[in-house]
Homo-oligomer: A and B are copies of this chain.
């Protein structure tokens, strides 16, 4: 399979601080990954469809265990516009990468040792969410960074009128309100739209949200899916070829 290096780098950057080692599944229809963070609180799901690659072939389903921090270092050796080829043998204990510059004068080859990772498959039931917030991913990043200087948990309140992110800590408290709006000054990229059946609010651990925000370079928008008594789901779509989804269980605290 072949792909430009920059998108692969961004995907690994969005995962590596949450998940250290993970199995990646290669099947006929594409690449997928499902893993919990080391504290078993957040869950992450990656999907890259086969038709998103210039060439993709996987003769049978394979599960390869990789260390994401080693993979991140390896991908940093690719130029952003290099053509990337990833391949492995049938009885593979390593994954091979080649990076070729546009002018073909420079070819790098790297191999990553694979590992046996014992991980239970986690089934995620499809949910009928009460509220779906669709907003700018960079605005999401900024809010999480800003509230990070206030407290350790973020309350997300979704109503028909808008969505409010708030936090409290020793030095004071803070909140940011985004109004429901189809577009801002005719620019829909900045708009925040909220589809809602009934108001819902959840308190979430900020350190996980900071990790999720690292997917912002992959997608202009993030959608936040909420329902009572179930994890909140954050979805970043990766252009036409797939998505990263993060699931995080709400905190049960006094504010709720």
Contact = CB atoms under 8 A, between A and B. Distances in A.
A108 B76 contact: no
A210 interface: no
Contacts of A112: 171-172
A111 B70 contact: no
Contact of A190 (B70, B105, B113, B176): B105
A138 to B, nearest CB: 12
A200 to B, nearest CB: 21
Given A73-B149, A77-B146, A149-B76, A106 B171 contact: no
A173 B170 CA distance: 47
A21 to B, nearest CB: 12
A60 B67 CA distance: 62
A146 B176 CA distance: 42
A122 to B, nearest CB: 26
Interface residues of A, number: 38
Interface string A150-182: 100000000000000000001111111111010
Contact of A111 (B173, B178, B185, B191): B173
Contacts of A192: 105
A186 B72 CA distance: 34
Contacts of A178: 105-106
B74 A149 contact: yes
A185 B67 contact: no
Determine how many copies of this chain the complex contains.
3
**Which of A103, A108, A147 has its CB near the most chain B CB atoms (within 10 A)?**
A108
A124 interface: no
A58 B105 CA distance: 48
A184 interface: yes
A103 B185 contact: yes
Nearest to A110: B174
Given A76-B146, A110-B150, A146-B108, A103 B174 contact: no
Contacts of A171: 67, 70, 73-74, 112-113
Contacts of A184: 103, 105
A103 B189 CA distance: 14
A147 B73 CA distance: 10
Interface of A: 67, 70, 73-74, 76-77, 94, 103, 105-113, 139, 146-147, 149-150, 170-179, 181, 184-185, 190-192
Please provide the 8 A-B residue pairs with the shortest distance between their CB atoms, ordered closest to farther: A70-B171, A77-B146, A73-B149, A110-B174, A108-B176, A112-B172, A111-B172, A107-B177
